[in-house]
Amino acid sequence: AQTVTQSQPEMSVQEAETVTLSCTYDTSESDYYLFWYKQPPSRQMILVIRQEAYKQQNATENRFSVNFQKAAKSFSLKISDSQLGDAAMYFCAYRAIQGAQKLVFGQGTRLTINP
């Protein structure tokens, strides 16, 4: 079974600084998707960024980028120029391409932005 691990329950960063959230996963599949979701206090889960495993290039969305290391099964999220609105729970998630295609989530990292 696939598993996703986020080893940082909480992180904090000064506004305008850069922070990196860690995620590792375990799978025997060769092709899959990885995601970072943001859950602000409103509880609405928002997709931040997505990475296809067959793509070597790291995904980027504005201030958000990932460092995808397939061999190491590592998928970290870098947030540049942190803003107060980035404060939220961040979840790393895995989805297989074959089979049930359910999302498997990590434990989450609570990110605090200090003004």
Partner 1 sequence: DVKVTQSSRYLVKRTGEKVFLECVQDMDHENMFWYRQDPGLGLRLIYFSYDVKMKEKGDIPEGYSVSREKKERFSLILESASTNQTSMYLCASRDRGTTTEAFFGQGTRLTVV
CB of 99 to partner 1, least distance (A): 10
One character per residue 70-99, x = contact with partner 1 (rule: CB under 8 A): ---------------------x-----x--
CA separation (Å) from 98 to 33, 95, 105?
Answer: 11, 9, 17
Q: Which tokens in the block code for residue 20?
A: 């990196």
CA–centroid distance for 106 within its chain: 9
Beta carbon nearer to partner 1, 6 or 82: 6
> Is residue 39 within 8 Å of residue 46, measured between CB atoms?
yes
Amino acid at 13: V
| 105 makes contact with partner 1 (CB under 8 A) | yes
Least distance (Å) between residue 34 CB and partner 1: 12
Site string for partner 1, 29-68 (x = CB under 8 A): ------x------xxxx-x--x------------------
Q: Is 106 in the site for partner 1 (CB under 8 A)?
A: yes
Tell me the sheet residues that pair with 86: none
Q: What are phi and psi of 25, to 5 degrees?
A: -145, 165
Length of the chain counted residue by residue: 115
User: Where along the sequence are the contacts to partner 1 (CB under 8 A)?
Assistant: 4, 6, 9, 35, 42-45, 47, 50, 91, 97, 100-108
